[in-house]
Amino acid sequence: MMDNEHQRRFAIVIANNEYQDPDFQKLIAPAQDAKALASVLRDPAIGDFEIKVLLNEPSYKVNEEIEFFFSDRKPGDLLLLYFSCHGIKDENGHLYFATINTRRKLLGSTAVSANFINNIMLHSRSKRQVLLLDCCYSGAFARGLFTKADKNIHTREQFQGRGRVVLTASDSMQYSFEGDVIKGVAQPSVFTKAIVDGLQTGQADIDKNGLVSYEELYDFTFDRVTDITPLQKPGKWVFDVQVI
């Protein structure tokens, strides 16, 4: 997937599809997405990442695992953080990720803050970081949580740092489509499925040099997602990256 076969590669895959607060709609895709992405990243012939998967864990556990994941790293370590869940903003425009114990009216104490993640990533010694966000915003949009803020998620402002690549399912109040209604066999999200397919089949290696750069992965994912759901446009932000 990347360009240095000797570098250490670590990934933490975080997904949440169960919610105790009835304000949050149950999701189908995250559990399946987490399994598929972890599998392709773990494959020695594709990603060769050391993987940790967190599924339906409470916010305090997720925060602890994220801080531990980014601590005690070397500058050349490649670190990948993936989120699949509801993404919501509070009335002040701050972004949060919902976990199983998140309460819509108590985001500060029960959800995972984008600011927290940003600070943890910023202070990590690793200068090779990838953040993948596959978050469904439809629930927050339907409940009018954004009446005091604009419709954009402003991913670039939420996540900044050195040596960081951020890929998102969308950067506005677009629904991150899961492929079908909630019934029958679970369907993966269009965004994560595109990433998995691109890596698994090698189609994301656009220049056919045996490596997949973040630009190639994004271009492949963008084309695949917009072909299927034209209203959903994945986003990409790059911060002070020299080689990834």
Mean pLDDT score, 220-228: 92
Task: Give the confidence band of 233 by pLDDT, cuts at 50, 70, 90.
Answer: confident
**Residues near 207 by beta carbon (within 8 Å), at least 6 away in sequence:** 216
How many domains does the structure of the chain reveal? 1
How confident is the model over 21-30, as pLDDT tens digits? 988 888 888 8
The confidence score (pLDDT) of residue 34 equals 93
How many CA atoms are closer than 13 Å to the CA of 137, on its beta-carbon side?
23
Percent of the chain past pLDDT 70, that is, above it, reads: 77
Max alpha carbon distance in the chain (Å)? 49
CA distance 46 to 25: 34
pLDDT value of residue 39: 96
| Residue 201: inside a domain | yes
Chain segment 152-197, per-residue pLDDT in tens: 545 455 544 457 788 888 754 444 555 544 344 445 688 999 999 9
The verdict on residue 3 lying in a domain is no
Q: Is residue 2 part of a domain?
A: no
Residue 142: give the domain boundaries: 9-239
pLDDT of residue 178: 53
Task: List, for residues 24-83, the tens digit of each pLDDT value.
Answer: 888 888 899 999 999 999 999 999 999 999 999 999 999 999 999 999 999 999 999 999
Is residue 172 situated within a structural domain?
yes
Helices (H), 143-244: 155-158, 190-201, 214-228
Work out the average pLDDT over 113-125.
Answer: 90
Q: How far is residue 75's CA from residue 15's CA, in Å, rounded to a whole number?
A: 27
Contact in structure between 233 and 222 (CB atoms under 8 Å) = yes
For residue 54, tell me if it sits in a domain.
yes
Q: What are phi and psi of 145, to 5 degrees?
A: -70, -10
Q: What is the pLDDT of residue 187?
A: 55
Residue 171 has a pLDDT of 57
Contact 31, 192 (CB under 8 A): no
Quick one: pLDDT band at residue 124, thresholds 50, 70, 90?
Answer: very high
- How confident is the model at residue 181, as a pLDDT? 41
Average pLDDT, stretch 201-205?
92
Q: Which whole-number Å values give the CA distances from 53 to 36, 46, 98, 103, 157, in the listed order?
A: 11, 18, 16, 23, 27
Distance between CA 215 and CA 208 in Å, rounded?
Answer: 14
Strands (E), 16-49: none
Q: Which residues contact 87 (CB under 8 A, 6 or more apart)?
A: 95, 96, 97, 98, 133, 135, 136, 137, 140, 153
Q: Is residue 65 included in any domain, yes or no?
A: yes
Q: Is the pTM of this model over 0.85?
A: no
Nearest residue to 115 via CA among 175, 66, 52, 182: 66
22 in a domain, yes or no?
yes
CATH of the domain at 151: 3.40.50.1460
How confident is the model over 214-227, as a mean pLDDT?
Answer: 92
Instruction: Calculate the average pLDDT of the chain.
Output: 80
Q: With 90 as the cut, is the pLDDT of residue 3 above it?
A: no
| Pick from 22, 20, 23, 19: nearest CA to 143 | 23
pLDDT for 146 beyond 50: no
**Residue 4 in domain:** no
